[in-house]
Amino acid sequence: MEFKKYQHIERFGTDEVQSIEIGSVFIFPKIDGTNASVWFNDGELKAGSRTRELTFDKDNAGFYNEISKDQRIIDYLTKHPEHRLYGEWLVPHSLKTYRQDAWRKFYIFDVCLDRGEEVEYIPYGIYKPMLDEFNLDYIPPIAIIKDGICTYEAFLKSLEKNVFLIEDGKGIGEGIVIKNYDFYNKHHRQTWAKIVTNEFKEKNAKTFGVTAISAGKMVEEEIVDKFCTASLIEKEYAKIVTEKEGWKSEYIPILLSKVFHELITEEAWNIVKNFKMPTINFKTLNTLVINRIKNVKTEIF
What residue type is 293 in one-letter code? I
**What integer pLDDT is reported at residue 214 of this predicted model?**
46
Closest by CA position to 183, among listed 114, 121, 116? 121
Q: Which positions ≥6 away from 41 have C-beta within 8 Å?
A: 1, 2
Q: Mention every residue, 6+ apart, whose C-beta is less than 8 A from residue 6.
A: 35, 37, 50, 86, 110
What pLDDT sits at residue 199? 61
**What is the structure's pLDDT at 207?**
44
pLDDT in tens, 264-289: 988 898 899 888 898 999 988 999 99
Which amino acid does the sequence have at 102?
A: A
What the chain holds in terms of domains, given with CATH numbers, is: 10-208 (3.30.470.30), 219-300 (no CATH)
pLDDT < 50: residue spans in the chain:
202, 204-215
Q: Phi-psi region for residue 204, left (φ > 0), alpha (ψ -120 to 50) or beta?
A: beta
Helical H runs in the chain?
A: 63-67, 71-79, 124-132, 152-161, 197-202, 219-227, 230-244, 252-274, 282-296
pTM surpassing 0.75?
no
CB of 280 closer than 8 Å to CB of 237: no
For residue 13, the model assigns a pLDDT of 81
CB neighbour class for 148 (10 Å; exposed up to 12, middle 13-18, buried from 19): middle
Q: What is the pLDDT of residue 14?
A: 82
